[in-house]
Structure formats: structure tokens, C-alpha cells
Structure 1
Amino acid sequence: MEQSVAVRRSKEEKKVLRKQLKASHTLLKHEGISTAPQPTKSLVVANGGLGNGVGREELSTVLKEMGEVETLLMPPQKPYAFVTYRSEESAQRAHAHLNGQKLQCGENSVTLYLSYVDSVTCEEKNSVPLPEGLLLVEDFVSPEEEALLLAAIDWSSTNDDVTAQKALKHRRVKHFGFEFRYDNNNVDKDKPLPAGLPEDCLPVLERCVRNGHINIMPDQLTVNQYESGQGIPPHVDTHSAFEDTILSLSLGAKTVMEFRHPDGRLVPVVLPGRSLLVMKGESRYLWTHGITPRKFDVVPACDPESPAHTTSDLGPNRNLTLSKRGTRTSFTFRKIRHELCRCAPSPSPPSAPSIPSCHADATRLEEEYVHRVYDAIASHFSSTRHSPWPRVCHFLSSLSPGSVLADVGCGNGKYLGVNPELIAVGCDRSSALVQICAERGFQAFVSDALSVPLRTASCDACISIAVIHHFSTQERRLAAVRELVRLLRPGGRALIYVWAFEQEYNKQRSKYLKEQNKEHPGNLSPINDTSDGIQEPHGKARMHTSRHLEDNYRPGDSMQDVSKVIDGKLSVHTNRTAFNTQDLLVPWHLKEGKRQGGEESGENCNRDPSPSESGPVPVFHRYYHVFQQGELEQLCVQVPGVKVQSSYHDQGNWCAVL
């Protein structure tokens, strides 16, 4: 009887193993890896890669038990590895004994599946150089200095009269010299903190000046403490608040900081403990930097026979391994800027893109001129989005308690907390903005607005605020509305806001145009301005009366004939001027927004830049399709089952309730 049970259990285990092997082969096929039917010296180890938590040390140890290993290749972010043995017999031994065996990697347990391959190939990627102006100095402070600096930060003290300490959702922060305000991403230059910088920092800073890393003593320090798994969204340190050079000292555990260029280049930089990172010039103003929240980093493996890796040497043909994150404390030193910044006018992108002619062109355009831009400007964008719009708040307040709300394209989540009686969830294409939502305690996830992973008819209400105008074809804009409608239960309502082509309506100019005319009333000619696009109305802004569909749109009405592009190329819009095309690129100058009289606006920095005062200000271009009157309603009624309940113009936006 016992023997029968054992035989049955053995058969079941073999059956499970066959299924798992088949699944692993399917994965390898999708990855473009061809397995060999006959034994060879090389094997692919499915389920044994850096991408699923297997470290080089653990995998190498178990593989070497089977024979002498020539090479072990572990591509970054992939759930497999390649091993080549000195002899075919060793490879056969590994194939026979390790297939289906479990490997314990810390708290992570994986099952290995090995297959023969004729050759080990891995896409060779050229090493991307460090961003211009970025310097990494290892072992800049001694272990004794590190201990003194860490001891100087008293996390148990919360005396905000001396220092400013905050417990953010994903890290804790302490400020010295001047407090950095996260509500407006700026500093109050007239309110220094009494304590100044800790005395133990002065010898380190004096060494920075002597070595030429910075030419002036910093007067502001931000200390961030990151536990394992914590990070910070991609951002550019505030331009208007601080001078050019930024010093960042890493103490404790090492981590990987990712630098991203607006053109999509990504440079991961390993920051060892006790290292100094110097950011100036292009690396300071043009590239974003951030730390992805995770508990393991892919880093170069320690090899005593090779020189230390100090930069982004994380290519697929390098000896890579996993590094478990520990507690890291960063000391970021900056010099407060006491004079106004001087920013350059908006340049055009290197080669103006064309209006898309097919689905593939549209997705490429939106990836470069919408998705990448919002990831790059997320922190600055969020700092200019404080106050919810009154009419949107009215819509949210009108919903019944307990209603399920989906904010599709939620940005920094400023509408998710307007009505606490709702069950509100947000989604956005930008992972950096979703992380900001999480830090604020909101429920949000990363998702494309054309395919939201929520059940059909699961929501009582949806809002789409300033999102659909970023889709670059009529078909994709219609698909975005159709997806909102899919989420709604019968009788559910959606509110949509899009930028309006008509920035003057009922003889009233929107704030977008009024901002320009404070100094030159009546002047609508183009000017150089570095502000963001359409401004959000503040509490006392005049609101237009809601109009029903029949009051301002009748099906069949033709749209105004507006020239879209010249020679098929999108033009770059001049901020604060009337639109002259419907499809265009709107510049975003990556500097810090500030609040003026309750309004949310960018800083007005129109003087010519002085290289001695500041570095170049990066300019990003976002694609927009600005809607003509009636166009939004015409789009919505194409979706079956939709009734446009009301529509209106609200400070430069066309709006509709479905």
C-alpha cells in the first residue's frame, strides 16, 4: 500500500515537472532563446536569473558542484542565466541533477529548469557614458567620518525650531540651514533654521571646496534615510531655489540611482557607501535622477582581480549580481540661490515630429512626447498642481456616499481625496506620478488610459481631467472615451476635461491668456514665456454656467477650419498666446512652480541666461490636440449608450458630463 502511494506520488511529481519544463520552454521561446535537443557544454537556466531574485553567488555555488564552470552570464532584469562548463560531461551532470531542484536565495525559493543551448548569445549594449557634469568619487569619507556624520543626525529630536524633520511615506527627512518645503518644492530664503549645518559636516565640505568639486560653501543640507525597499521618484532638484552644483554623500548601504535623459537614455549609477556624487551642468538640469523602490539592486559582482566598478557598468556581458539593500542615509548639500534665476527661451525639439498617420506612429509620438515627458517632469509637475478645480470638486461632491470612483489619468492624485466618502482609485501612465500618489496615501496604479485593468461596469463615476487631449489620433481619443464608458455601471456618470482651442469665450479670456496680459493689456502677440500650459482656476475665478448639449452643439455642426500642421510637422506653441493649430507641442520648462495669490503658476523668468548664474534649463515638449467647441460632445456621442448630460467651458477647457 505504502509503495503504491509512493509510486503514485512520484508519477504526479514527474507530471508536474513536465508541465513546468514546458512552461519554461515557452518562456525561453518568447525570449528568442533556442534550446538544443542534444547535450552541449552550455545550458540556459530558466527561473534562475537576476530578474526573479537569484543572486550570482547562490547560483554559481550550486552550478560549480556539478563541475568546472567556464562562464556564468546573468543578463540584467531577466529570469534566466547562461552557464558554460569546461566539459560536456559536467553540463550533462548539471542537467540531470539540477533540473527541477529548488534553490534558496535568502527568503526567496525558486525551482531551476535547465536546457541545452548550442551557443550563449546575449545582446551587446554599448556602455552609456555618465551624464555630462556628473562625477562619482568613491571612499570620499573614512569609516570614522561616516560614523561621526551619522551620529550627528539625531532622529529622536523633533525640535522644528532648530531643524525641520518630516516622516514621508517612503523615507524620513531632516533639513538643516533652510527647510525644503515639499508643498511647493521651494525654500523660504528669509527664514533660515537656527542650527545651521552640523559641525561634523564642515571638514567634509572644506575638502569638497579644496578639491574643486564646488566653488562655494553650501548652506543647506537635506538628510534622507531610506530603509530597504524605499526610493524617490525621478526628479530634477529645484532650479530656482538652489545654485548649480549639488553634492550628495551616500552613507551606509549602497544603492543604484537611475539618471534618465529626455530622449530616453537611462544610466544606472551604483552609489557605494561613503561615496560622493557631484551633479552640475547637464546632469543637474537636464537629466532626472531617482531611486526605484525595491529590495535588491543589480550591481557588478565583486572581483578582486578586476578594477572596481564605479559607474554604470551594468551591461549584459558584465559580471552582475544582486545586492540586497540596507539602510542608506544620504547627505545632500546645496547652496541657496538668493538672486532670480535666468532661464533660456523655449527651443524647438531637434527634429519636429510629424502628425501620426497610423497606430504605430501615434504610439511612438505619445511615448516620446507624453509618457517620457511626464515621468521626467513628475516632481515639478506635481508641485504646480495644488488646488482642485471647483467645478470638478462640485461633480465629486454630488456623488452618493460609498460610490466607486475611477480617476483615469490621476496625475499626483489631487482629486482622489476631495470627497472622503467615495471609494476612489486612480491610475496614470506615469509611474513617477503614481509613486507621488502613493506617498500621499492614495490608492493608485500604473495603467494606460486605453486599457484600464478594472472590471466592466464596476464604477459609479469616472473622471478624466486633462488627459484625452494627449492622444494623437481621433481613433485613440474615441477609444479613451469608450474605455471610460466601459468602466461605468448603467446610469453611471463621467466628467471629461480637455484643453480648448478657444481661449477666449463669451468675451472672457481664460487665465492662460490673462497671465500674459498683466503687463500688456490687450496684447495677444506671441511672447517668450517659460510658464506651463493652461493654468488651473483658483477659488474666485469666474465660472461659466453649465450648458446642455442642445445649447452649444448640434450633431452635424462642422468644426472651424483650423490649419493643423505645416508640411506635416507639428509646430511648437508659444506659451500664453492663443492657439493657431489644433495639434501642437507645448513647452514645459523644468523649473520650480510657485504659488501667487492662490494661483498655480510657473515662475516668469524671461531674462537671458547668464552661464555664471545658472546652468541650462531643460525644456520638454508635450503633445496636445486642443479641442474646438462642440468637438468633445461630438466625440462622446459616437460611443453607444452615452448621453451628454451637460457641457461647458471652464477657464480654457471644454468639459462634458456623460
Structure 2
Amino acid sequence: MNINHKGGLKLNKIEKKFLRKQSKARHVLLKHEGIQAVSYPTQSLVVANGGLGNGVSRKQLLLALEKCGPMEALLMPPNKPYAFAIYKTIEESKKAYAILNGKEIIDDLGQKIILYLNFVEKAQWKRMRLQALPPGLLVVEEIISSEDEKMLLESVNWTGNTGDQNFQKSLKHRRVKHFGYEFHYENNTVDKDKPLPGGLPDICNSILEKWLKEGYIKHKPDQLTINQYEPGHGIPAHIDTHSAFEDEIISLSLGAEIVMDFKHPEGVTVQVMLPRRSLLVMTGESRYLWTHGITPRKFDTVQASEQFKGGIITSDIGDLTLSKRGIRTSFTFRKVRRMPCNCSYSSVCDRQRKATPPSLPESSKEAWQLEQEHVHRVYDLIARHFSSTRHSPWPRIVEFLKALPSGSIVADIGCGNGKYLGINKELYMIGCDRSQNLVDICRERQFQALVCDALSVPFRSESFDACISIAVIHHFSTAERRVAALQELARLLRPGGQALIYVWAMEQEYKNQKSKYLKGSKTSQEDKEEINRINSATTTAGLLVNQTPDLGSEDQASSVPTTNNIQEGECTSRKVPSSELPVHTNRTSFHSQDVLVPWHFKGNPSKDKDVEPFGLAGSPDPSPVFHRYYHVFCDGELEASCQAVGDVSVLQSYYDQGNWCVVLQKV
């Protein structure tokens, strides 16, 4: 009797746990996908956890669902963790609801997945717009025979025991061999004056001659890179360097099929299936403008139709399934460029746009240390003085905030003293900043704000209607960290939500616009006396000051006089002792993208609770100088960084008083 009683309690706990998880699944689908469950039986069920996005194939799910009765349709949206099961009668759907709710199935990786079913009035999903292949892209199926494929694969010696072992590399996620010229990954180019001995393998030469004769390619390549990919590995989205290679890039897929992602700068993404033994030819726009890459994963979403072999993966959710990846070997052929690139895509052309030298840090740890010393620490120390120079909001940022619908939830990532948090009283705004002292100022002004890092914002994904990031991303010291900050903004936005981003511009004069930063270079006699006093004081300390507290971009204090005792246009190359970065001279054009910008603290720091009481050692001037790190963006660089972010499109880009600005939309 007691055993039965205990057994009954145990069963009751299991039922309660199941009901909680089923309710949670229903809530998540409603909140994030807009799928409304109903409390009464219908022919249609939404199956949570039973989707392509979490490793369940069409065949696998059908096997479980069809045991409950004949079905009209199984709809599996691409990359989503749910599916819609539509039965022929309500009785059959009720049976599936009773039998399959809480049922465990095993996915193709051997992991257990529990299904949670709810009734819906009708299946609904966000249809993806069908795209055409990127212009200039060609996929040729069965370009070689299975015998030639076997011969090519066997010709690659991965043991490293032959004379060409110096040309083989093991990268983090793949093995690589180079022929003709070695490809240098540190700068994505080749040394045109150092060809590798032996040229291309003889077996490749005969195949290339055949493709030339048949018209699939127009030029015979002289460089070959062979990559071997294990299942689950990929390659980041990229554009082959314009200045290194000619227009035509061709890639032969051997051993296994793969889905390659092509992305346009405006956010359009096209997934292209590359079948085994197929040839991919990229020319024109697809070669020069679109990025291409392979997402690291062990399964690809593909068309289930047997007649489908290669080309675009459509959004037909009645015909999608999962394909398990195998070991794929790609032969990528290029022709080394001898003349300068003169393509029509200057925004992404390394020859036509201004060169962007790499940031100083060589690792994530070094980047964090630089930012900790020359961004985080500095803003905490100067918070009160910084806030006193930040009064007037910029018109185009105000315009963006005032245009948002009433009731919108908006995040200000890097809110500083919160000057934008109260602009539009019809919005629900919350700010965050890395500086505790700046956040304290926001709270004193009765704004909602918290301390966090812009790379890890503690808000749920897709929870904001809009975000702003004003004069923040230029403080990250590597390209990867700047892209990560953009990705974090995209994560926070709901589909259709927008983000406004401002960064400092390398170009302080652009299309007859001259920023206030340069316009403020005239000084009065009183200012010049102050300049001489400051320079005299700081020379004793061995540091170059001759700077205003800040630049004349969005994050500007234009009322502060210039303190510059050098000739107009002269560039200083002096450095802060602890850094290799140059110190920028305010009110002059930028001469480096990665710089330290001094902030000269006005007043007595010992009386300010936010500034530790130290000045320049041995200096008669007790006011300290703080150096903030900046990466100033070249024309087109911000848009290029945005291209690396998934699921966003650039709605607008513009130049505003020494800043490059974009408006992104989550797609």
C-alpha cells in the first residue's frame, strides 16, 4: 500500500514537471516566434524541439509522427527548433498529442531530445524570400567522373613525407596544401616573386585544360589551395583579396557535399548547395562583392527532393531535411594578379580603399589589457569631468529616437552619462556602460542604467525594438572585438528592430564637410597663454599634452580651447611610455587609425571623488593627463564590419560631423 502511494506521488511529480516544460515550450514559441497555441484539439500541432534547427531530420520525425495516423503535411522551417504536424483528422492529432508529448527520440548525433506538442489553429512561419544565385556565380554538377575524383583524392599526400612538405599546413580546423604559390593567411595574399617549385600537379593541368576548352573557365590558374574539412568544421565568411588574384576563382568539391553561404553587403544571404564532384565558379559581383563562407556545423539543411542536386537552398519548408556532413576536400584554383585591381567595388577593394593597419594587440588577452588600461580605467577616473562636457544631444540621434513608435523598448549600449536616455519620454529606455562612475551619474539623473561590457550584455536575445551605440565601438582594439560588439547589438534586436551606430571617422573632412573638431582649431591669446602653461608643465613630465580634453565628434567638448604648440598640420609620433601607439594631436587630421587621445583633466583632481589624486610626476601642474584608446574608422570600414554580422542589413550609412554612422535592421 505504501509502495503504491509513493509510486503515485512520484508519477504526480513527473506529470507536473512535464506540464511545466510543455507550458514553457508554448510560452517560448509565442514570445519568440509569434506561434499561438490553443486549448482545444485541432488537426495541426506545433512540435517543440522537433526541428531542423536542433538536429532532427524529416525522416526521423516522420517515423514517430506517422505511427499516430496518416498526415497531410510535415512543415519544417529552416534553422528553427520546431515543426508543424498536420494530420488528416482531429482524432489522429489528438492521438499524437497524447502519445508523443514528452516522448524521447534520438537525433542523428545520438543525443536524446524530448518532444513537446501543442495544438494550433494553423501552421504559420516567417517565409524567407527566394533569392537568385549571386550575379557571376556558376555551379556545374558532375564536372568530373567518380574515377577522376578518386584519383585526385589519392594524389593528395597528407602524411608530409614528400618533398612538398614545406607547403603543407595544419590550421585550427583543417589541413591545407599550396601549389604554385603559397597563400599567406596572415595577410590573405601571396608573394608574387616567390613561386613554389613544381607548379600545379600534372593531374590538375589536364583537367584545367579540359575546362578551358569546354568554356567553364576563361583563364588557366597558376595557384592551387587544397583544403580538407572534417565534419563540423567550416571557414569564416570572406572575400578573396582583390589585389592578390584575378577575377575568376574556382573551387572543386570532392568527397562530400556542402552548403556554402553567400552574403551581400546589404544583408541578403543565399545558401548554395555544392554537390560532390561539382565546380563552383565565382566571377564579377559574386567574386568581388559577396562574402562566401561555410558555417561550422555537422548537418546542413538541404532540399529533400531526390531530383535536387545543386544550387539555391529554397525556403520551401515542406521539402527541407538534414544532411549529415562528411569529409570534404576542396581544390580552389586562382590566378595571381600582376596588374592593380580596377574593379567597380571600391568599398571592399583593398587596393582602392585606404589601407587599415592591424591593431596593436596580438591576442584577446592583450586587447582586453589595452582596453582595461586606456578605456575602462580612464572613463572611471574622468567620469565627472567627462559628464560636465556632455550636454547637447546630436540632432540626427534625436531624430532616430523621436521616430521610434511610442512604447518601444530601447537599449543605449555605452550610455555614458545618459544624455540620450531621456530624449523621448514615449520610449522605455535602459542604458548600460562599462564605467561604474558614469552609470552612477545616470542613476542620479533618475535613468535606468547598469554596468556591463558591450561584448556581453545581460539582456535576452531579441528583446529590444531598437538600440543605439554612440561613440563606443571605436574603443575596441581588434577588428574581431569590433565585429563582436556589432553582433551583440544584432542579438538584442527583435526581427525588424533597428540599431543606430556612431564611430569616429579617419576622414575629418569629407565631401566639403569639415567637422567641428577641425573648425575649432583657432585659439585666443588667453588660450595660447594657457597652452604654453600646460606645455611647459607637461614637458617636465616627459609627456606630450598639447591636446584638448576631447575630439569634436559625437563625444565632443567643443568649448575647450586647443592646447597646441606645434605648427598646423604637423603630426606628432611621440608615444605614451607604456604603449607603442602614437598620441594623436587634437584639432589636426588623423595620421593613424589606432591612437591614444589625451584627456587633460581640468581642476583639482584630489577634490573629485572619481579621480585618484595623482598628477604628472615632478610637474608644477597637478592636473593629470589620461590617454584613451581609439580605432578611427576609414570610409567603408564600418559597413564592411557590419557585413560580417549575420541577420542584419544596412538600411542607411552616412557621415555626420567627423563620425561614420550606420542604421542596421535585424532581418
TM-score, length-scaled by structure 1: 0.59
**Whole-Å Cα distance in 2 between the matches of residues 553 and 560 of structure 1?**
10
Q: Compute the displacement of 1:313 (Å).
A: 2.7
Instruction: Select which of 35, 39, 61 maps to 1:37.
Output: 39
Contact 1:545 1:648 in 2 (8 A): no
Q: Compute the displacement of 1:162 (Å).
A: 6.7
**Whole-Å Cα distance in 1 between the matches of residues 508 and 25 of structure 2?**
56
Q: Compute the displacement of 1:168 (Å).
A: 0.8
Instruction: Select which of 191, 199, 204 maps to 2:202.
Output: 199
State the secondary structure of the residue aligned to 2:119: strand
Distance 1:197 1:560, change over 3 A: farther
Q: Match of 2:83? A: 81
Q: Match of 1:531? A: none
The answer to whether the aligner puts 1:341 opposite 2:355 as a matched pair is no
Contact 1:247 1:277 in 2 (8 A): yes
CA deviation string 1:602-657 (max 9, x = no partner): xxxxxxxxxxxxxxxxxxxxxxx9999878979xx9x9835695345999979xxx
Contact 2:181 2:196 in 1 (8 A): yes
Distance 1:633 1:318, change over 3 A: farther
Q: Match of 1:263? A: 266
Long gaps (5+) in structure 1: 348-375, 398-403, 411-447, 465-471, 485-496, 504-543, 563-577, 579-598, 600-624
Distance 1:338 1:499, change over 3 A: closer
Pairing of 1:67-216 with structure 2 (within 5 A)? 67-106=69-108, 107-157=110-160, 164-216=167-219
**Whole-Å Cα distance in 2 between the matches of residues 180 and 498 of structure 1?**
34
Pairing of 1:50-61 with structure 2 (within 5 A)? 50-61=52-63
Pairing of 1:442-521 with structure 2 (within 5 A)? 476-477=470-471
Q: Match of 2:29? A: 28
**Whole-Å Cα distance in 1 between the matches of residues 354 and 323 of structure 2?**
32
Q: Match of 1:319? A: 319
Distance 1:287 1:474, change over 3 A: closer
Contact 1:71 1:85 in 2 (8 A): yes
Contact 1:244 1:281 in 2 (8 A): yes
Q: Match of 1:63? A: 65
The answer to whether the aligner puts 1:559 opposite 2:558 as a matched pair is yes
Distance 1:329 1:8, change over 3 A: same
Contact 2:43 2:87 in 1 (8 A): yes
Contact 1:51 1:78 in 2 (8 A): yes
Q: Compute the displacement of 1:478 (Å).
A: 7.3
CA deviation string 1:533-574 (max 9, x = no partner): xxxxxxxxxxx963569x754999951799xxxxxxxxxxxx
Q: Match of 2:234? A: 231
CA deviation string 1:518-540 (max 9, x = no partner): xxxxxxxxxxxxxxxxxxxxxxx
State the secondary structure of the residue aligned to 2:311: coil
State the secondary structure of the residue aligned to 1:95: helix
**Whole-Å Cα distance in 2 between the matches of residues 252 and 409 of structure 1?**
50
**Whole-Å Cα distance in 2 between the matches of residues 279 and 632 of structure 1?**
53
Q: Compute the displacement of 1:108 (Å).
A: 2.0
**Whole-Å Cα distance in 2 between the matches of residues 200 and 33 of structure 1?**
55
Distance 1:71 1:168, change over 3 A: same
Residue identity matched to 2:206: P
CA deviation string 1:419-472 (max 9, x = no partner): xxxxxxxxxxxxxxxxxxxxxxxxxxxxx8789999989xxxx999xxxxxxx9
Q: Compute the displacement of 1:346 (Å).
A: 5.2
**Whole-Å Cα distance in 2 between the matches of residues 649 and 29 of structure 1?**
45
Q: Match of 1:2? A: 3
Q: Match of 1:308? A: 308
Q: Match of 1:282? A: 285
Residue identity matched to 2:68: M
Distance 1:546 1:343, change over 3 A: farther
Distance 1:161 1:201, change over 3 A: closer
Q: Match of 2:386? A: none
Distance 1:212 1:452, change over 3 A: farther
Distance 1:8 1:405, change over 3 A: farther
Instruction: Select which of 214, 222, 225 maps to 1:222.
Output: 225
Q: Match of 2:17? A: 16
Q: Compute the displacement of 1:500 (Å).
A: 7.1
Q: Compute the displacement of 1:274 (Å).
A: 1.0
CA deviation string 1:138-184 (max 9, x = no partner): 22122111111111110112557576111111211100111111122
Contact 2:359 2:594 in 1 (8 A): no
State the secondary structure of the residue aligned to 1:135: strand
Distance 1:41 1:383, change over 3 A: farther
Contact 1:259 1:266 in 2 (8 A): yes
**Whole-Å Cα distance in 1 between the matches of residues 48 and 182 of structure 2?**
50
Contact 1:163 1:174 in 2 (8 A): no
**Whole-Å Cα distance in 2 between the matches of residues 113 and 473 of structure 1?**
34
Residue identity matched to 2:296: P
CA deviation string 1:330-364 (max 9, x = no partner): 100111222333355958xxxxxxxxxxxxxxxxx
**Whole-Å Cα distance in 2 between the matches of residues 256 and 474 of structure 1?**
34
Residue identity matched to 1:324: K
State the secondary structure of the residue aligned to 1:151: helix
**Whole-Å Cα distance in 2 between the matches of residues 640 and 48 of structure 1?**
57
Distance 1:33 1:377, change over 3 A: farther
Contact 1:546 1:647 in 2 (8 A): no
Q: Compute the displacement of 1:230 (Å).
A: 1.1
Residue identity matched to 1:119: K
Distance 1:377 1:215, change over 3 A: closer
Q: Compute the displacement of 1:317 (Å).
A: 3.1
Distance 1:73 1:545, change over 3 A: farther
CA deviation string 1:281-302 (max 9, x = no partner): 100001000111122211111x
Distance 1:38 1:284, change over 3 A: same
Contact 1:260 1:266 in 2 (8 A): yes
State the secondary structure of the residue aligned to 1:92: helix
Contact 2:595 2:631 in 1 (8 A): no
CA deviation string 1:367-412 (max 9, x = no partner): xxxxxxxxx899x99995457289x99x979xxxxxx8485899xx
Pairing of 1:539-618 with structure 2 (within 5 A)? 546-547=543-544, 552-553=548-549, 559=558
Identity of aligned residues (%): 40
Distance 1:13 1:409, change over 3 A: farther
Q: Compute the displacement of 1:197 (Å).
A: 1.5
Q: Match of 1:330? A: 330
State the secondary structure of the residue aligned to 1:75: coil
Contact 2:139 2:279 in 1 (8 A): yes
Residue identity matched to 1:17: F
State the secondary structure of the residue aligned to 1:65: helix
Residue identity matched to 1:319: D
Q: Match of 1:646? A: 625
Residue identity matched to 2:246: E
Q: Compute the displacement of 1:104 (Å).
A: 0.7
Distance 1:455 1:85, change over 3 A: farther
State the secondary structure of the residue aligned to 1:150: helix
CA deviation string 1:208-253 (max 9, x = no partner): 2122121221111100111112111111112112111111011112
Q: Match of 2:49? A: 47
**Whole-Å Cα distance in 2 between the matches of residues 316 and 545 of structure 1?**
68
TM-score, length-scaled by structure 2: 0.58
Q: Match of 2:360? A: 388
**Whole-Å Cα distance in 1 between the matches of residues 208 and 185 of structure 2?**
25
Structure ranking higher on relative contact order (CA contacts 8 Å, 6+ apart): 1
